[in-house]
Amino acid sequence: MAVTEAPLVEPEVAPDVRGPTAPLPATILGLGIAAFAIVVAGVLISQVNYGLSDRVLTQSCIDQDVAPTDNGAVGVCNIVEALADPVTTWSLMIGIGIGAVAIVLGLATYRRMDSKRRRDHAVTGAIMGVHAITLAVALLWFRSGTPALFTKHFLNFADLEGYGGAFLLGARNTLLLAFLGELGGVIIGLVLGMLSLSQRGAVRAPARMYINFFRGTPLIWQLVAGYFVLLFGFQIRLSAFVAATIVFALNTGAYAAEVFRAGIQSIERGQMEAARSLGMSYLEAMRYAIVPQAVRRVIPPLMNEFVILIKDTALVIALGLTASEYDILTTAKEGQAATFNFTFFTVAAIAYLVVTLPLIRLVNAAEKRLRSGLVGIAGAAG
């Protein structure tokens, strides 16, 4: 078949309707960042300035129920007075102003930018302006109320002196609870996950019942019931720490079982068929072909479970731990009870974050690595 030649037609040039290119994308981005930086810097400079110089308790602090006899009263007052300092005030105002300019310019011009990169600059500049204004307004609102009262209760770190070791021990115990619980849970979960995949209903049923029970009742109920049932029902006196570890393992086992089940089911059917066609039994196929692949796939979700468990270990607060067993939250509660200073809970949150944030990053990295398919090759030396 001959190719018919298309007649040559002079293509009509479409009129350029894009309009003039908007100017100043980098300036808008700069304005947005500057607005935010001015707000943050102004606040920090005042805070550091007040923190480093000798100050006294002001009348406004005393009016807000900060007594001269309170431990750390001057420190609390410094934070509040620094917020009211002209440097802070001016930086907040200037930040709001520049932020508003960035928003207006950015939104007005981003559609007329001539490259993706410049458009992103304009939009990001506007967004940074929004952040600057939001932060500045929040601080203005905060200092217009009773900031001294808030600071006295939640940001008064004076009472925490001497509790560093206690929090370190608490962090160790929290991690120990979570780690032992996860370890036991993974073992229980692998077995239960395999059972719940059985063809036989009689094998599946008890596994499902276990999983449903532990997923369907509150963890705190399991903790309390586990501890007191053993104690009063069977006269078994376990330390609260040990009892809690067992309950965490049992509970995590149910969730890990679902993770393993999903992981095993995610392996292509052909893998099982290939193994069986080589004469392997079902269990041999699982052991040599399926589970080693599934294990790699379940590492990120299991690490995710671990992060969740770290936070859930705080529920041991419901059981009576002895002092050497205190976890982070119990440490905070004891400190708060002794001093009536809620700043202990602020520190507890920070302590949990110090532990969990790196792990969350690790989970994300592992997921990314898995999605890129590298694990199948790299982790396979055995």
Partner 1 sequence: MIQPPAAEGDHLVRLEDVHKWFGNHHVLKGVNLTMHQRDVLVVIGPSGSGKSTLLRCVNMLEIPTRGRVWFEGQDITDIRCDLNEVRTHIGLVFQAFNLFPHMTALRNITVALERVLKLPSAYAKARATEQLERVGMAHKAQAFPGQLSGGQQQRVAIARALAMQPKLMLFDEVTSALDPELVGEVLEVMIRLAGDGMTMMVVTHEMGFAREVGTKMLFMDEGVVVEEGEPREMFYRPTSDRLRQFLAKVL
* Smallest separation, CB 260 to partner 1 (Å): 17
Chain positions 333 to 362 lying near partner 1, rule: CB under 8 A, are: none
Separation between Cα atoms, residue 122 and residue 129, nearest integer Å: 11
Q: Which part of the chain contacts partner 1 (CB under 8 A), choosing from 40-48, 133-141, 200-208, 266-274?
A: 266-274
Print burial letters for 98-118: b (CB count within 10 Å at least 16), e (below 16).
bbbbbbebbeebbebbeeeeb
Are 80 and 148 in contact, with CB atoms under 8 Å apart? yes
Q: How far is the CB of 306 from partner 1 (least distance, A)?
A: 23
Question: Residues near 321 by Cβ (< 8 Å), separated by ≥ 6?
Answer: 240, 241, 327, 330
The DSSP call for residue 314 is: G
Minimum CB distance to partner 1, residue 284 (Å): 6
| 265 interacts with partner 1 by CB under 8 A | no
Q: How far is the CB of 297 from partner 1 (least distance, A)?
A: 11
Of 33 and 302, nearer to partner 1 (C-beta) is: 302
> Which residue, 114 or 273, has its beta carbon nearer to partner 1?
273
**Number of residues in the chain:** 382
Q: 193 Cβ partners below 8 Å, 6+ apart? A: 256, 257, 258, 259, 260, 261, 263, 264
For partner 1, the closer CB: 119 or 296: 296
Place of tokens 């808008």: 28
Question: Which of the ranges 194-202, 265-273, 301-309, 357-365 carries the binding residues for partner 1, by CB under 8 A?
Answer: 265-273
Q: For residues 31 and 103, what is the distance between their CA atoms, to the nearest angstrom?
A: 9
| Residue 113 CA, distance from chain mean position | 36
Q: Which of 178, 168, 161, 154 is nearest to 326 (CA)?
A: 168
Instruction: Give 166's contacts (C-beta < 8 A, 6+ positions apart).
Output: 326, 331, 334, 335
Q: C-beta of 32: minimal distance to partner 1 in Å?
A: 45
Q: What x-and-dash track marks residues 209-248 binding partner 1 by CB under 8 A?
A: ----------------------------------------
Rule CB under 8 A: say whether 65 interacts with partner 1.
Answer: no
**Dist CA 261 CA 137 (whole Å):** 50
CB distance 148 to 61 below 8 Å: yes
97 binds partner 1 (CB under 8 A): no
Site string for partner 1, 267-306 (x = CB under 8 A): -x-xx-xxxxxxxxx--x---xx--xx--x----------
According to the binding rule CB under 8 A, does residue 45 interact with partner 1? no
Binding to partner 1 by residue 377, rule CB under 8 A?
A: yes
Query: What is the Cα–Cα distance from 155 to 148, expressed in whole angstroms?
Result: 10
Dihedral of CA 293/295/299/305: which sign?
A: positive
Q: Decide whether 30 or 292 has the Cβ nearer to partner 1.
A: 292
Does residue 376 interact with partner 1 by CB under 8 A? Answer: yes
Task: Please count the residues of this chain forming the interface with partner 1, following the rule CB under 8 A.
Answer: 23
**Beta carbon of residue 175, minimum distance to partner 1 (angstroms, whole number):** 31
**Helix, strand or coil for residue 97?**
helix
Report, in Å, the least distance between residue 101 CB and partner 1.
54
Residue 379 makes contact with partner 1 by CB under 8 A: yes
- Asked if residue 369 binds partner 1 (CB under 8 A), the reply is no
In terms of CB distance, is 19 or 382 closer to partner 1?
382
Give residues in contact with partner 1 (CB under 8 A).
268, 270-271, 273-281, 284, 288-289, 292-293, 296, 373, 376-377, 379-380
